[in-house]
Amino acid sequence: AQKITQTQPGMFVQEKEAVTLDCTYDTSDQSYGLFWYKQPSSGEMIFLIYQGSYDEQNATEGRYSLNFQKARKSANLVISASQLGDSAMYFCAMRSTSGTYKYIFGTGTRLKVLA
Amino acid sequence: GAVVSQHPSRVICKSGTSVKIECRSLDFQATTMFWYRQFPKKSLMLMATSNEGSKATYEQGVEKDKFLINHASLTLSTLTVTSAHPEDSSFYICSASDVQGAKYEQYFGPGTRLTVT
Question: Which helix (H) or strand (E) is A46 found in, with range?
Answer: strand A46-52
Mean pLDDT of chain A: 94
Mean pLDDT of A11-31: 95
Residues in chain B: 117
Q: A100: pLDDT confidence band, cut at 50, 70 and 90?
A: low
Say which amino acid occupies A71: A
CB atoms within 10 A of CB A57: 8
DSSP string over A50-106:
EEETT--SPPEETTEEEEEETTTTEEEEEE-S--GGG-EEEEEEEE--STT--EEE-
More confident residue, A29 or B77: B77
CB contact burial B50-63 (16+ within 10 A = b; e otherwise): bbbeeebbbeeebe
The pLDDT value recorded for residue A4 is 96
Spell out which residues of chain B touch residue A44, defining contact as CB-CB under 8 Å: 108, 110-111
Cα B1 to Cα A36, A61, B4, B18, B99: the distances in Å are 18, 16, 10, 33, 14
Q: Is the pLDDT of residue B99 over 70?
A: no
Is there a contact between B83 and A80 (Cβ–Cβ < 8 Å)? Answer: no
Mean pLDDT of chain B: 92
Q: B102: pLDDT confidence band, cut at 50, 70 and 90?
A: low
> Of A44, A91, A95, which has the smallest distance from its Cβ to B110's Cβ?
A44
At B18-59, the pLDDT tens digits run 999 999 999 888 888 999 999 998 999 999 999 888 889 999
CB distance B104–A108 less than 8 Å?
Answer: no
Mean pLDDT of A76-86: 98
Distance CA A49, CA A59 (A): 7
Q: Is the pLDDT of residue A102 over 90?
A: no
Q: Is the pLDDT of residue B104 over 90?
A: no
Hey, which bits of chain B come out as E strands?
Answer: 4-7, 10-13, 19-25, 32-38, 44-51, 57-58, 67-73, 76-81, 90-97, 106-108, 112-116
Q: Closest residue of A to B103, CA-based?
A: A33
Distance CA A113, CA A89 (A): 12
Residue to mutate among B44, B95, B97, B100, with most A CBs inside 10 A, is B44
Q: Is the pLDDT of residue B3 over 70?
A: yes
Mean pLDDT of A40-57: 93
Q: Is the pLDDT of residue A111 over 90?
A: yes
Q: Is the pLDDT of residue B100 over 90?
A: no
Residue to mutate among B34, B36, B71, B106, with most A CBs inside 10 A, is B106
Spell out which residues of chain A touch residue B103, defining contact as CB-CB under 8 Å: 33, 50, 52, 95
CB atoms within 10 A of CB A98: 10
The pLDDT value recorded for residue A8 is 97
Q: Is the pLDDT of residue A70 over 90?
A: yes
